[in-house]
Amino acid sequence: MKILITGGTGFIGKHFIKRSKTKHDLCALVRPSTNLDFLKKEKIKFYIFEDNIDKLTSFMEKEKFDGILHLASLFLLEHKTENIKNLISSNIYFGSIIIETAIKSGVKWFINIGTFSQHYKNSVYCPLNLYAATKQAFQDIIKYYTETSKLNIVTIKLNDTFGENDTRIKLLNIWNKISKSGEVFDMSPGKQIIDIIYIRNVVDGFLQMIKLLSKDKNNKFNGKSFIIKSGEEVSLKNLAKLFEKTTGRKLNIRWGTKKYRIRENMKPWNGGKNVPEWTPRVSLREGLEKTFK
């Protein structure tokens, strides 16, 4: 299939491209400020979106994409006032423009990426932060398009992810650094229960959903929401122990020297249904070994 991908130079996008570039004809939709080195290295076509909707529509009409994987977003755990414009532009406006042009150009399907943080305190909807609120707002906009167009739109919600070549400032990456340097790291008491999933499982889920959408002639998936989760919930303290056991390196963590955040998510959302006919093939421990050992 011919697939347009946003967020192709992010952590998840890079792994998806590496896995699927020989299976599908990929093109990345990028902003002018995007570093294009990865796309050029992988020989992936790209289109630079300069906020010209007419030009984007013409491009998409010419290319005749089968589907769109919309990974691009701006994630901020805690925002500042000056971040609001960029959050709305990245997580609401940008996606809305892509859906609008997708409909005009005859794209068949669209995969949106949501987040477990739309379900703080295990609620049907309660945003953990403003980032989650913008993701919900975009999903509400999607509702309109599922009822007024033939575009087959599905949302897949993720919690936290990890894997090789991850340059994000994430906890496992910090642990990997301090396990080698021996430095002391202050943390909360560590009783949070988390669901963190290895990147290969995530890409498997995306590829399975794409396969299903390619065969969905009656749009039975339209407007539905699915999840990709590890199925291995673990406390933060026990994750640290598993990291030590897997890597053979000690973590000098001082548990309880920091307080929990005001809106600390103590347990991941347990709702939602997995992507149909998908289950994680790589365990948490195996993922840690592949990434950090």
DSSP secondary structure code for residue 24 in this structure: S
DSSP secondary structure code for residue 198 in this structure: E
Mean pLDDT of 85-114: 98
Whole-number average pLDDT of the chain: 97
The 10s digit of each residue's pLDDT in 29-65 is 999 999 999 999 999 999 999 999 999 999 999 999 9
Structure tokens at 118: 């739309």
DSSP secondary structure code for residue 119 in this structure: B
**What values do phi and psi take at 290, rounded to 5?**
-65, -30
- Grade residue 143 by pLDDT with cuts at 50, 70 and 90: very high
Radius of gyration from C-alpha coordinates of the chain: 19
- Grade residue 71 by pLDDT with cuts at 50, 70 and 90: very high
Provide the pLDDT for residue 76. Answer: 96
- Quote the percentage of the chain above a pLDDT of 70: 100
CA–CA dist 34, 194 (Å, integer): 31
Q: What share of the chain is helix, strand, coil (3-state, %, to 5)?
A: 40, 20, 40
Structure tokens at 195: 């669901």
Query: Is the alpha carbon torsion for 247, 248, 252, 256 positive or negative?
Result: positive
Mean pLDDT of 122-133: 97
**What values do phi and psi take at 12, rounded to 5?**
-70, -40
Mean pLDDT of 74-101: 97
Query: Is the alpha carbon torsion for 33, 26, 113, 11 positive or negative?
Result: negative
List of domains in the chain: 2-162+195-228 (3.40.50.720), 171-194+231-268+281-292 (3.90.25.10)
Confidence (pTM): 0.96
CB 258 within 8 A of CB 188: yes
Provide the pLDDT for residue 273. Answer: 97
- Grade residue 253 by pLDDT with cuts at 50, 70 and 90: very high
Local structure of 105: helix, strand or coil: coil
Provide the pLDDT for residue 116. Answer: 97
Mean pLDDT of 220-246: 97
Name the pairing type of β-strands 193-194 and 234-235.
antiparallel
Name the pairing type of β-strands 160-162 and 152-158.
unpaired
- Grade residue 179 by pLDDT with cuts at 50, 70 and 90: very high
Mean pLDDT of 176-185: 98
Structure tokens at 199: 């990147």
Mean pLDDT of 160-189: 97
CB 224 within 8 A of CB 36: no
